[in-house]
Amino acid sequence: MKKILIVDDEPNIVMSLEYTFKRQNFEVFIARDGMEALEILKNQLPDVIILDIMMPLVDGFETLQKIKSNKQLSHCKVMFLSAKNKESDIEKGLSLGADAYLTKPFSIKKVVDQVNELLGL
């Protein structure tokens, strides 16, 4: 069973994603901000991480940098899922080492497809 970590501070958005990926037979972990995400990553090695950018305390970019600096997590695919849709933000996200960048509002289907693609499924 593939593992997925969803990091977003909007509970209603998380709820939809959680439901969707559970239906796709993922083991789903949820964090409300970067800090919680990093806490979870101490014990879990998910295959995919879905990361929001605008979050309280530790934002998405910072979280990604911390993930990338941890060698144990090097196989982890990271996908940004953010309402920040400016060209510059997308470029920044990808240059920091994210594997994909989808903008909000998103199509559930596209998100699922993207995750599958990242996992080579």
Partner 1 sequence: MNSIALILILLVYLALLFFVAHWAEKGNKNKWIVNPYIYSFSLAIYCTAWTYYGSIGVASKSGLDYLPIYLGPIIIIPSWIIILKKIIRIAKVNKVSSIADFISLRYGNSRFLGAIVTIVCLIGVLPYIGLQLKAISETFHVVTKTPLSSIVFEDTTTYIAIALALFASYYGTRYVDASEKRKGIVTVVAMESIIKLLFFLIIGIYITFYVFDGFDDIYQQASKLENYDKLNSIGGLPQAINWFMLAILSMSAIFLLPRQFHVTVVENNRESHINTAIWLFPLYLLLFNIFVYPVAWGGNILFNGQQVNTDFYSLLIPQLFNNQTLTVMVFLGGFSAAISMIVVASITLSTMLTNNVLIPYNLLGKLKGNEESISIKKIINTRKIVIFLLIIFSHFIYRLFGLDYSLVSIGMVAFVIIAQLAPSFFGSLFWRRGSRLGAIWGIILGLLVCFYTLLLPYAIGIANTNSTFISEGLFGHHLLKPFQLFGLDYLKPVPHALFWSLLVNFMVYFSVSVSFKGNYRERNYAEMFVDINKYMTNHENAFVWKGTAYTSDIEKVLVKFLGEERTKRAMNIFNLKYNVDKNQELADSRLIKFAENLLTGHIGTASAKILISSVVKEEKITLPEVLKIFEESKENIIINKKLTETSNELKKATHELQLANENLIKKDKQKDEFLDTVTHELRTPITAIRAASEILHDDDEVPEQLKKQFLQNIISESDRLNRLIDKILDLEKFETGKQKINVQKNNVVTTIEQALEPLYQLIKNKNIATYVESAEEAFALYDEERIIQVMNNLVSNAVKFCPETDGLITIQVIDKEDVVQINVSDNGKGIDKNDFENIFDKFYQSSNQNFKKPIGSGLGLAICKQIVEYHKGKIWVQDSVKGACIVFTLPKHKQP
Name the residues that contact partner 1, by CB under 8 A.
9-10, 12-13, 15-17, 19-20, 23, 53-62, 83-84, 86, 104-109
The residue (of 4 and 17) whose beta carbon lies closer to partner 1 is 17
The residue (of 24 and 99) whose beta carbon lies closer to partner 1 is 24
Q: Which helix (H) or strand (E) holds 13?
A: helix 11-23
CB 105 within 8 A of CB 81: no
Alpha-carbon distance of 17 to 35, in angstroms, equals: 20
The residue (of 45 and 94) whose beta carbon lies closer to partner 1 is 94
Residue type, 98: A
Alpha-carbon distance of 64 to 59, in angstroms, equals: 9
Cα(first)–Cα(last) distance of the chain, in Å? 13
Q: In the bound complex, what is the minimum distance in angstroms from residue 75's beta carbon to partner 1?
A: 26
The residue (of 44 and 107) whose beta carbon lies closer to partner 1 is 107
Q: In the bound complex, what is the minimum distance in angstroms from residue 103's beta carbon to partner 1?
A: 8
Q: In the bound complex, what is the minimum distance in angstroms from residue 120's beta carbon to partner 1?
A: 24
- Pull the structure tokens for residue 16: 């939809």
